[in-house]
Amino acid sequence: MAGLAESLKIIQYPHPTLRHVAKPIRRIDAEMLQVVRRMFDLMYEHKGIGLAATQVALPYRLFVLNLKGDPNEGEEHVFVNPVITKRKGLAEAEEGCLSLPGLYGDVKRSENITLQAFNLQGQAVKHVCEDLFARAVQHEIDHLDGVLFIDRLTPTGELKVKDTLDEFTVNFAGRRRLGEVPSDEVLAARLKELEQART
C-alpha cells in the first residue's frame, strides 16, 4: 500500500464506495497519519469543512473536521471510530457535500449530540456538539454508514435535485467507460484488502 496518501482523491456520487459501510480502525501508524494529513489538504483544497474516509475511497471509520475550512483558522479535529451516544432537539439547515459538488438541500438533524471517539494517539475523546459542529459530525458519520445527505431530503427536496443527480450518474458512467473508474468487483476487492490491513 505504498503511496496510499498520495493517491487519495475525493470521489463523487454515485461512486460505489460512498455506499460502503466503513469498518472500525484497529491500528494507527505513520501511513495513517499521512492519510489524515492528505484528507485535510483535500478538504481545504475543495473548500469543505469535513471529509470522511469513505469519500477518499477508504473503508475506515474516520473523518476529519475543521469548521472554519481554513488551514490557518479554526481547530483541526480527527475522529477515529466515532459514535453518537446522545441526541437532543431537531433543526433543519442547508447542507452540501464534497462528493456532490454544487448540490445543496435542506436536511433535518439533531440539534445537539454527544460524540465519543478516539484521537490519533488512541485516546478516548468526548465532545458535546451543537449547531454546525453537531450537523457536520452527523453528516460525516452518515458517510461512514454509507448514507448521503440526499438520502435525508424531503420528497420535495428530492425532486429539486433529481436532474443534478442524473447528471452525476451520466458523468460517472462516462468516466467508467473510459476506464477512469474500476469495476464494482475491482473496487470491492480493493476495499477488502484495505480493511484486512487495518481492521
Q: Which of 111, 140, 158, 195 is catalytic?
A: 140
140 annotated active-site = yes
- Pull the grid cell for residue 156: 420535495
- Pull the grid cell for residue 127: 465532545
CB-based contact 150:105 (threshold 8 Å): yes
SS3 27: coil
CB-based contact 101:165 (threshold 8 Å): no
Over the Cα atoms of the chain, what is R_g? 16
* Lookup result for grid cell 443534478: 164
CB-based contact 78:52 (threshold 8 Å): no
**Cα angle vertex 44, ends 150, 131, to 5°?**
55
CB-based contact 167:13 (threshold 8 Å): no
| CA–CA distance, 93 with 109 (Å, rounded to integer) | 8
Active centre residues (catalytic): 140
